[in-house]
Structure 1
Amino acid sequence: MSDDLDPELEYVLLNKRDAKVYQVPPAASASGHKASDWKEAIWRGNVRVVARGKEVSIRLLDSGSGNLFAQCVIPNAQYDSYVERVVDSSRYWVLKIVNGQRHAFIGFGFSDRNDAFDFNACLADFKANFVDKVHEARAAAEMPTKDLSLKEGQTITVSLPGKGGRRREKAAGYEASMLAPPPSSTGASSIPSIQAPASAAYVAPAPAGDADDFADFADFQSAAATGSQ
C-alpha cells in the first residue's frame, strides 16, 4: 500500500436502500440524542458510502431520480466527529452536515438492523484498513534504522559448539578405565590385574586435530550456513 491513497479515485464502500432522515431536536440530556424523541421521517431513500483518498462521504440519494438530498463529508475517516450514535438504539445516528462555515444536524437510520450494522462496520473498516495502516506505514518508514555494523576496535568472539568437549569425555573415560582399583582394606599385597576380553581390541586415543575435531567444526559450519539462509 502506498503512503497516500489516490485522491482521484472513488471507492463505493456501501449501498443501502430504505434509509431514513429525521429532524433532530436539541438533545434532552448531556448523554446524547435519543431516537425515541424524533418524529416521523422527513425523507426516505438510498444511502451510498463513498471513499476518495482519506475522505469518506455519506450520500443520501433519492430512490427514483438518484439526486443528492444531503451529504455528510468526513475528512481523514474521523467519523466519530461527524457520525454520532444515539443512546437508545443501534439503528440510528446523528449526522453532521457541513456547508462552508455552516453546519446542521440530521437524524439518520435504518429500519433493518442488519443494514445498520453494515453501515457502522464499513466506516470502521475503512479507517482501520486504509487510513490507520497508511499512518502506521509512514511512521515506520520515518523511524531511524539501527546501525549494527562493527565500530573501530570492536571484535566478535565465536565459540565453536562441542569443540574438544567430546574428546575430553572420551579421554577421561579411557583414563578411568585404565586405573587400578584401590588397595583392599584387608591389607592384601597383591593387586589384581585388569585384563580386557580377548574379543575386544585396544584402540589408542586419537591425537589432537583428528577427524573428530574436523567433524565438530564441519557440524558448526553446517549449522552456521543453515542459520544464515
Structure 2
Amino acid sequence: MEDDDIESILFICREAMVFKIPPRQSNAGYRAAEWGDLGSPLWKGRMRIIERNSGCSIRLEDSQTGEVFAQAPYDVTGMSVEAVLDSSRYFVLRAEDQGRKAYIGIGFAERAESFDFNVALQDYTKRQKALLNPETNESETASPHIPTGPKKDYSLKEGQTFSINIPGGRGSASKHSQLQILLVVPCLSFLRPPKGPAVDNECIVLRHHVIFLVSMSWPFVFFAFALVVRA
C-alpha cells in the first residue's frame, strides 16, 4: 500500500443532516432559521473527516453502502466550512465535484457532535500551520510580566532589622516616627540528633521550650506596634 492510500479518521458522525440553503443575503453570514423546515433535511447519512498525506476532506456517505453523497476538501483557511450565526449545530459546507462547487447546509442532532466536529478541524488546522511555519511552533517564551535572571534572597538575616514608617501621626515628630522590630533568627539545627532515648527526650523538651518562647514573644511585638500606631 502506498503512503497516499493511508487514511486517518479524525471524526465520524453516524447521522448528519444536509439542507438546501438559499443564497447568502448579506456579508454577515448564514442563518439556519432561513433554511426552512430543519426537521425535514434533504439527506441523512454518515459524515467522516478523513486525513491523508495529500490533504483533508469532509465526506458525506451513505450509512449502509458507503456511497459518497458529497465531499468537501478542507483547507486551513477555513473557507470550506462556515458556522451559522444563530446555532452551534449547523454549518455551511463548500462541496466540490470535478471542479464544480456548491454550498450546502449540514447539521447535527446533538451539540456534542458539532463540538467534536469543530475540534477535529481545529486540531488539523493547528498541526498543518505548525508544519508550514515551524518557527512559530517553538516553545513558549517567558512571560514579560515575570522578571528574568537569578532569584534574589529577600529574607532577613540573623540580627537584621527593618523599619516601618507610620504616616498620618500627630506632630512633626510623629510624622517621622519609626517602629524598629528586631528579628532574631535563632540558630537552631533542624538536623535529626543522634539516636538514643536520652538524647531524643532532651531534644523533645528543648523543642517544646523553643516553641513556647516564640509563641510568648509575639504578643509583646504586636502590643508595641499598637502603642506606636496610637501615638
Q: State the TM-score, normalized to the length of structure 2.
A: 0.53
CA deviation digits over 1:109-152, x for unaligned, max 9?
10100000000100000111x21221233789xxxxxxxxxxxx
Among 120, 129, 133, which residue is 1:132 paired with? 129
1:72–1:97 Cα contact (<8 Å) kept: yes
| Structure 2 unaligned spans of 5+ | 138-231
Taking a change above 3 Å as real, the CA distance of residues 131 and 65 of structure 1, as seen in their structure-2 partners, is: same
Q: Following the alignment from structure 1 to structure 2, what is the Cα–Cα distance between the partners of residues 57 and 71? A: 7
Does 1:9 pair with 2:6?
yes
* Paired residue total: 133
Aligned to 1:27: 24
Query: Higher RCO, 1 or 2 (CA under 8 Å, sep at least 6)?
Result: 1
Matching residue's letter, 2:9: V
Aligned to 1:109: 107
1:54–1:131 Cα contact (<8 Å) kept: no
Q: Following the alignment from structure 2 to structure 1, what is the Cα–Cα distance between the partners of residues 136 and 14? A: 39
| Structure 1 unaligned spans of 5+ | 1-5, 141-229
Deviation for aligned residue 1:72? 0.5
Taking a change above 3 Å as real, the CA distance of residues 122 and 139 of structure 1, as seen in their structure-2 partners, is: closer
Share of identical aligned residues, percent?
37
Bigger drift between 108-117 and 23-32 goes to: 23-32
Q: Following the alignment from structure 1 to structure 2, what is the Cα–Cα distance between the partners of residues 29 and 139? A: 35
Matching residue's letter, 1:61: E
Alignment of 1:16-165 (within 5 A): 16-39=13-36, 40-53=40-53, 55-75=55-75, 77-78=76-77, 80-128=78-126, 130-137=127-134
1:21–1:107 Cα contact (<8 Å) kept: yes
Give the 4+ runs in structure 1 shifted more than 6 A.
none
Matching residue's letter, 2:112: N
Q: Following the alignment from structure 1 to structure 2, what is the Cα–Cα distance between the partners of residues 54 and 119? A: 20
2:61–2:70 Cα contact (<8 Å) kept: yes
Deviation for aligned residue 1:55? 1.4
Deviation for aligned residue 1:28? 2.5
Larger radius of gyration: 1
Matching residue's letter, 1:20: M
Q: State the TM-score, normalized to the length of structure 1.
A: 0.54
Alpha-carbon RMSD: 2.1
Q: Following the alignment from structure 1 to structure 2, what is the Cα–Cα distance between the partners of residues 30 and 86? A: 12
Deviation for aligned residue 1:104? 0.6
Taking a change above 3 Å as real, the CA distance of residues 100 and 68 of structure 1, as seen in their structure-2 partners, is: closer
Q: Following the alignment from structure 2 to structure 1, what is the Cα–Cα distance between the partners of residues 74 and 44? A: 22
Deviation for aligned residue 1:101? 3.5
Q: Following the alignment from structure 2 to structure 1, what is the Cα–Cα distance between the partners of residues 132 and 47? A: 28
Q: Secondary structure at the match of 1:15?
A: strand
